[in-house]
Amino acid sequence: MARRKFDIPQMYKSPVIRKVKEANKITDPRKKNLAPTTLDFGPVRFLIPRHFGFCYGVENAIDIAYKTVEENPDKDIYLLSEMIHNPTVNEDLQRRGVQFLYETDGTERIPIDSLDRDDIVIVPAFGTTVEIQQKLKKKGIDPYEFNTTCPFVEKVWNRGNQLGQKGYSLVIHGKHKHEETRATFSHSASHSPAVVVLNPEEAQILADIMTGKRPQQDFDKWFAHKSTDGFDPLKDLEMFGVINQTTMLASETQEVMKILKQAAAEKYGEEKVLNHFADTSDTLCYATNENQSATYALAESGPDIAVIVGGYNSSNTMHLVEILEHHCPSYHIRDAGEFDSPAQISHFNQWEKKVVESLNWLPTDDQPLSIALTSGASCPDILVDEVMLKILSFFSDARPIHDVISPFEDKLASVE
């Protein structure tokens, strides 16, 4: 997909991280180098991954949403739900008068029936369900006029539709309550039998039901609440493809595909497997792949701790945390307001699904201290800057920002 330039509000632009990213684009235009960039401030070093932060779909959504608000000052403007999973962006839009029609879990906040046909409704980057689209049309509101659905989510839908026209069922790798998966399931269900699996473990359960190693009754226990009515795992998985929630771990989606393809090969024979299992690996989101690959490289660079900035309901951010926490203590924070000193930090524990407190999280006596610093795809780079600067304030002998960033500024100046 051609990369077009988006109009991102100045308040989200970073004076530090932006220079690192732009300099890396000059030295590595083909994105072959995954080694993190080191910003050495002396007593503390920040390891910055090659790819992180706003992706194409998020920049597209922010561009459309802010232009819509600016160009329609006299209209009531609504978002179906959070535009992206970042509280800074969503709260700013609300301050500008934008109202949310639904909570992220699908709970209704403002009935669509209460809207007028001249109201503006923005579809978030996750997309929306066929049912909600129909409700909007019934009110005379065009659900596609202010549509910020990520193009890569739409690519998944289009691939699913192509398979549906050929008689394939769909297995969706995703979190069934997530906005994107709810939307993908709804679009899939309009043309195909569909079922959602959360992870490779659930994929194996489905594979075992498919091959007769588990009783068919197990399908109801595990999948009845997240499959189309009447889904028959023996009949409907005779021909199927796997599509995904684009923010899931790409390696997990590939594992889900592998497990179910092996089940098809076992049931129908290796030589006939491609008559039953559709290859959909081309639907995996490039940005998710890049960010996760860069995070694996970041983890392997040997950080002492990791700080990951992003919304607490951001699926892609949680997966970055999941990668890093296997290598070092990792703290998922929404912004620099989550800590005031090296003594205590508030951060999100995705396994306990709550914000927790950790003491003595920043070992300032262990010098030089290496910190892996990254963010989710919906997090503005300015928030990463703010986290970095706040951590630097705890090190009185840290080198000045300008001294550390000047080589990147020189690189940028050389091509101007």
Checking if the pLDDT of 25 tops 70, the result is: yes
In the CATH scheme, what is the code of domain 10-55+287-413? 3.40.1010.20
Tokens at 332, concatenated:
């998922």
In the CATH scheme, what is the code of domain 56-138? 3.40.50.11270
For 140-148, which contacts have Cβ atoms below 8 Å and span 24 or more sequence positions?
A: 141/115, 141/117, 145/120, 146/64, 146/68, 146/120, 146/121, 146/122, 147/64, 147/122, 147/123, 148/60, 148/61, 148/64, 148/65, 148/83, 148/122, 148/123, 148/124
Q: Write the pLDDT tens digit of every residue in 38-89.
A: 999 999 999 999 999 999 999 999 999 999 999 999 999 999 998 889 999 9
Checking if the pLDDT of 1 tops 50, the result is: no
Q: Write the pLDDT tens digit of every residue in 101-142.
A: 999 889 999 999 999 999 999 999 999 999 999 999 999 999
180 is catalytic: yes
Q: Give me the percent of the chain exceeding a pLDDT of 70.
A: 99
In the CATH scheme, what is the code of domain 152-245+248-284? 3.40.1010.20
Amino acid at 238: E
Domain limits, CATH 3.40.1010.20, in the chain: 10-55+287-413, 152-245+248-284
Mean pLDDT, rounded, of the chain: 94
Domain limits, CATH 3.40.50.11270, in the chain: 56-138
Query: 205 Cβ partners below 8 Å, 6+ apart?
Result: 214, 218, 222
Answer yes or no: are the C-beta atoms of 112 and 101 closer than 8 Å. Answer: yes
- Catalytic-labelled residue, pool 59, 82, 179, 180: 180
Residue 416 banded pLDDT, cuts 50, 70, 90: low
Residue 323 banded pLDDT, cuts 50, 70, 90: very high
pLDDT value at position 286? 84
Q: Write the pLDDT tens digit of every residue in 245-298.
A: 998 988 899 999 999 999 999 999 999 999 999 989 878 788 888 999 999 999
CA–CA separation, 102 vs 202, rounded Å? 29
